[in-house]
Structures are given as C-alpha cells and as structure tokens.
C-alpha cells in the first residue's frame, strides 16, 4: 500500500470526508532527523513500506523515555508507563498485516495527561497521592475514540496537581505523585501548566502525540512555552466524560503535537458525540474536515484582528510576534488592530464559576469513575492532604480546594449570576462582538510569555496570557510556534467563534509552513541572555 492509498483510506476511516485539497498540503512536512521526532505521516509511510513497525516505534519511544525523561536531562514528564503498550503495538502490527488499518493513528504512540481515565493497569490520579493506584472503572470517551482509531497509549504524563486548581502559590508542573516536570528548552525553567508533562514530552520526542486538558490556558500555555502546537477546541467538540474535572462549563481535552498536521489528525480522531456528555450533542454535524483544512494558502484573503490589549508584557515577545504578523500579512491576510472588549468584567466571576463547579463535578467523577477510591468528595481530599502534608504540601497549600469546599451548590444565586456574566461578556459582548464589528475571520495575539524560572518559594509568575477569552467563551484556540526569546519558545494564537476549528487549523497550518519555527530542544541547564 503506497502513501497516497494509505492516507486516503486512513482519513476516511478516521472521519474525514476525503483527502481532497489536502493532497497537496500534507506531504510538505519537514523531514525529521529521527523517526522519533517525525510526525504521523512520516511514521505511517515507514510502516507502510515495512521499514518500521508499531512495536519497534513504541519500543524506541520507551527507550528514549528512559534515557531522557528518567535519566540524562531528566525532564520528568512521564508519571507512569503503560505496561500493556508493547502488547497493543503488536496487535496493531497484526492488524496491519491483515490490511485492517483503522486510520491515520493506527499504531501511533500517544501519551495521555494523568487526569484522563483509562480502564487498564494505569492509575488516573490528577497527580494526587489520594488517587495513586486507583484504576478507573472505564475509559474516558476520548480514550475509547483513540483506541478505536488504532492509537497505542504508552503512558500518562505528569501535570500540575488537580490541574493547577490547588493553591494560590502553586508551581506549575509539580504534583505530589509525579514531582516536577522541567522545560526541555531550559531545565531551570517552568513548562507552565497544567498539561506540563504533555507539552514537555511531545517537545522532547517521547511520543508522537499527547493529549492535554484545559479549563483556562492549560493546553495552549504549556504548548506555547514548550514550542509545540496545541488545540483547545470548542467546548463540547470532545467529550468530557472520564476526565477528572475542574469545571464542566469550560473543561475540554485537546491535542498537543509537533505539527499542525498531527494535531489536526488527532483532533479528528477524538471528536464525536458522546451519549454520556450532553454538551457534545451540539457538535453533531459541526465536526469539520480538519485534514482538508491543511492548505498553505489558507491565510489568503483572511481578515485577522490583532488583539492589541494582549501585547505589552514583554518587549522581546512583542518583537517576535510582530515578525509573525508580518508573515501573516505576506501570506495574504489583512490585519486589523482591535481590542477584545470586557475582559475585565469576567475575571472575578470566572473563578467563582470554577470553584462552584469544581466541588460538584469532582464528587460526580469520583462516584462514577473511581468508586473504590478512599476519597469521595472535596472534603475528603482536603483531609487527605492534611494527613499527608509532608508529601502533598511541601511547597504550597490547598487554598483553592478549601475555597471550593466552602461554596454552595449549582443552584445558588452566586453561581448562576457568575455563569451568566461569563457567557455575556466573553461571548455576546466579547469575542462575538469584536469579530462581528470588524468582520473578522479570527483573532491573533501572543499566546503568552516565555518560560519563567521555576520558583518553589514564590510560585508561578506568568508573563501574560491570551487564554481567558476563548476559555471562558468555550471557543476554539490554537497556538503555533512563532519564534524564540533568548532561546525560549513563544507561540502565536488563533482564536475564532464556536466550531471554527477547521478554519483556524488552515490558518495555523499556513503560518507554520511559511515559518517552520519549531526546532528540537537541546536540554540546556539554563539559557544564555546573550541569545535573542
């Protein structure tokens, strides 16, 4: 089976209508120096030519995890290896021999963030010792989708414990169960969070793909800081079932990958209506042909709003993004300076909603997916942390857990008013307003600042972020590598209205192909300030 036949068949099996216009776009991926740094299409080409098997690819990634993640630079991005990974890979190879290919992800190694339930021999713990050793009752819906697509789940990635919803002085990328994940572009710097391990692992070439989750910034921020592509989809495009929650009104999983192509193919595999998640019902008929969107001319004629109220936190970052904007213009886009309105009107109410939903949603998850866990609700987790304070709270406390526990139910006036406020000012009088007023196809801005030094005394110190408008609205957000600041990656964000993933993927792909900014990390102990 040659490459053309494989991709056409695989995309059809994976839910894309056909290769169509993507036929000319997909082969332009830059050749990787190693098969472990390659993308889905290159790895599939090697397997189709009988030069590579899923078993050998998985074995090589596991060896690389041993040499880079657990020794050498010790990125510490992996919290647990799937003991069944090689068995799954062998089965995918057997199916390939029988010409039973499931789609583009057939035999491709994938890592999952450790808040995504898997009904196997791995724990699902959100990094907490309270859930260490607890196996989920069943797969999360997106995991079932990935398995059906032929993906080989090789392990779980570390994260900011409880998805960074624990303390006012938290350190992103640290969990009691997993320790600290370090940035592969500068080992003394942070990966951001909460999908820290997923971002670092993909950047370091420890798997082809990884899954992150986001409530506000937890995919796009570590993706930007680790120099990879991250897609935070429309809320409800991917099922939330089986993901340890913060808040059902904003939570979503999403792909993290080294290229827009890989992220798009993974998004297609995970998308789909889930009978156990009512929010996914709205996505029926709205799932785009993400492969066909991969066109190098996708920026031509697009009208992009440059969200100027998200600039100004770092001069070097602004300079890098201005160069990126020049590329967008050279690729045929029309740029319009805009201000995303009313972002100050939901900064407080967003957190109120998260606290209320965290308390309720977490208890529901524990009852449904972890009935054998020693903790049943927020109060139990708070008590567990106090009892194990030396292991769970050596650096910071649990103020957010305690605040969530103090909140009322989801029928409280405080919660309902905050939720309505969020939706009003982030959607109708936020993203929707500015895009309609200026007739925009998308908004663009720096995703956030470069990685900061990890600091267990003072906690995180972010350098700006463009995550909240799309996160609160529940709209899609894609970040793509846009250059470097002192050797540290920074990302360019594309944000659009609900279910505009295909259009955003096309624009992100065109920018990526015109710039090819991403380069593999070299694991320096620190960065040189002489490097701009």
Any idea of the CA torsion for 18, 23, 27, 28, to the nearest 10 degrees? -120
pLDDT of residue 531: 64
Cis peptide before 396 (omega within 30 of 0): no
Q: pTM for the whole thing? A: 0.94
Q: Assign 528 a pLDDT band (cuts: 50, 70, 90).
A: confident
Percent with pLDDT over 90 in the chain: 92
Mean pLDDT of 333-338: 98
Mean pLDDT of 142-147: 98
Q: For the chain, how far is it from start to end, CA to CA, in angstroms?
A: 46
Q: Among the options 54, 113, 156, 224, which is catalytic?
A: 113
Distance CA 291, CA 26 (A): 8
3-state secondary structure 60-104: HHHHHHHHHHCCCCCCCCEEEECCCHHHHHHHHHHHHHCCCCCCC
Distance CA 374, CA 368 (A): 14
Supply the Cα-derived Rg of the chain in whole angstroms: 21
- 256 SS3 class: strand
Q: Among the options 194, 271, 283, 500, which is catalytic?
A: 194
- 517 SS3 class: coil
pLDDT, tens digit, 9 for 90 and up, residues 1-15: 333 333 333 443 333
Mean pLDDT of 239-245: 98
CB 349 within 8 A of CB 418: yes
Lowest mean pLDDT among 27-31, 62-66, 170-174, 349-353: 27-31
Q: Is the dihedral of CA 483, 484, 489, 494 positive or negative?
A: negative
Distance CA 413, CA 406 (A): 15
Residue ranges of domains in the chain: 3-342+420-515
pLDDT of residue 25: 39
Strands 209-214 and 252-257: antiparallel
Distance CA 270, CA 141 (A): 8
113 is annotated as an active-site residue? yes
pLDDT, tens digit, 9 for 90 and up, residues 2-59: 333 333 334 433 333 322 333 333 434 445 679 999 999 999 999 999 999 999 999 9
User: Which residue matches tokens 């390939």?
Assistant: 96
pLDDT of residue 2: 36
Judged against a pLDDT cut of 70, whether residue 114 lies above it is answered with: yes
Q: Is the dihedral of CA 45, 48, 49, 51 positive or negative?
A: positive
Close Cβ partners of 157 (under 8 Å, ≥ 6 residues apart): 77, 78, 79, 111, 112, 113, 114, 195, 196, 197, 198, 200, 201, 210
Distance CA 340, CA 432 (A): 10
- Report in angstroms the alpha-carbon separations of 237 from 229, 315, 327: 18, 36, 30
Q: Among the options 128, 160, 218, 224, which is catalytic?
A: 218
Q: Assign 400 a pLDDT band (cuts: 50, 70, 90).
A: very high
Distance CA 370, CA 365 (A): 7
pLDDT of residue 31: 54
pLDDT, tens digit, 9 for 90 and up, residues 155-199: 999 999 999 999 999 999 999 999 999 999 999 999 999 999 999
Q: What are the structure tokens assigned to 428, written together?
A: 């109708």
Mean pLDDT of 61-84: 98
Class for domain 3-342+420-515, per CATH? Answer: alpha beta
The strand pairing partners of 305, in sequence order, are 336, 443
Judged against a pLDDT cut of 60, whether residue 324 lies above it is answered with: yes
CA nearest to 403, candidates 454, 356, 335: 356
pLDDT of residue 33: 74
Q: What is the mean pLDDT of the chain?
A: 94
pLDDT of residue 462: 86
Close Cβ partners of 66 (under 8 Å, ≥ 6 residues apart): none
For residues 479 and 10, the model is more confident at 479
Distance CA 441, CA 525 (A): 41
Distance CA 181, CA 187 (A): 9
Max Cα–Cα distance, the chain, nearest Å: 62
């Amino acid at each position: 089976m040659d490459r053309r036949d494989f991709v056409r068949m695989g995309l059809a099996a994976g839910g894309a209508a056909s290769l169509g216009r993507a036929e000319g776009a997909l082969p332009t991926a830059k050749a990787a120096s190693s098969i472990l740094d390659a993308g889905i299409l290159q790895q599939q080409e090697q397997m189709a030519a009988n030069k590579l098997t899923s078993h050998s690819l998985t074995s090589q990634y596991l060896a690389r995890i041993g040499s880079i993640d657990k020794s050498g630079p010790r990125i510490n991005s992996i919290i647990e290896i799937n003991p069944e990974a090689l068995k799954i890979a062998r089965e995918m190879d057997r199916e390939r021999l029988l010409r039973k290919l499931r789609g583009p992800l057939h035999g491709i190694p994938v890592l999952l963030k450790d808040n995504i339930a898997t009904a196997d021999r791995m724990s699902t713990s959100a990094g907490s010792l309270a859930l260490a050793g607890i196996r989920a009752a069943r797969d999360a819906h997106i995991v079932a989708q990935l398995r059906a697509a032929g993906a080989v789940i090789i392990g779980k990635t570390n994260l900011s414990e409880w998805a960074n919803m624990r303390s006012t002085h938290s350190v992103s990328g640290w969990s009691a169960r997993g320790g600290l994940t370090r940035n592969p572009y500068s080992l003394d710097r942070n990966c951001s969070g909460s999908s820290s391990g997923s971002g670092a692992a993909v950047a370091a070439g420890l798997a082809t793909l990884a899954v992150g989750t986001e409530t506000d910034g937890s995919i796009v921020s570590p993706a930007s800081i680790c120099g990879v592509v991250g897609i935070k989809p429309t809320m409800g495009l991917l099922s939330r079932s089986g993901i340890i929650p913060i808040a059902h009104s904003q939570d979503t999983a999403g792909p993290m990958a080294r290229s827009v192509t890989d992220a798009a193919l993974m998004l297609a595999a995970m998308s789909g209506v889930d009978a156990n998640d009512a929010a996914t019902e709205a996505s029926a008929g709205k799932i785009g042909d993400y492969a066909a969107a991969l066109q190098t001319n996708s920026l031509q004629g697009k009208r992009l709003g440059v969200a100027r109220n998200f600039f100004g936190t770092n001069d070097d970052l602004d300079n890098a993004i201005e160069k990126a904007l020049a590329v967008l213009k050279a690729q045929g886009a029309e740029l319009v300076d805009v201000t995303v309105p009313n972002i100050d009107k939901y900064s407080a109410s967003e957190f109120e909603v998260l606290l209320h939903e965290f308390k309720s949603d977490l208890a529901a998850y524990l009852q449904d997916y972890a009935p054998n866990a020693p903790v049943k609700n927020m109060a139990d987790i708070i008590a567990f942390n106090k009892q194990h304070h030396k292991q769970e709270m050596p650096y910071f406390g649990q103020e957010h857990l305690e605040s969530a526990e103090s909140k009322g139910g989801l029928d409280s006036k405080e919660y309902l008013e905050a939720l309505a406020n969020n939706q009003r000012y982030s959607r109708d009088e936020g993203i929707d307003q500015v895009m309609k007023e200026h007739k925009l196809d998308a908004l663009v801005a720096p995703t956030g600042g470069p990685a900061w030094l990890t600091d267990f005394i003072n906690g995180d110190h972010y350098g700006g972020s463009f995550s909240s408008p799309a996160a609160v609205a529940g709209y899609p957000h894609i970040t793509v590598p846009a250059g470097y600041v002192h050797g540290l990656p920074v990302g360019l964000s594309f944000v659009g209205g609900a279910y505009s993933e295909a259009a955003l993927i096309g624009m992100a792909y065109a920018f990526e192909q015109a710039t090819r900014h991403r380069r593999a990390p070299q694991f320096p102990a620190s960065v040189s300030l002489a490097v701009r």
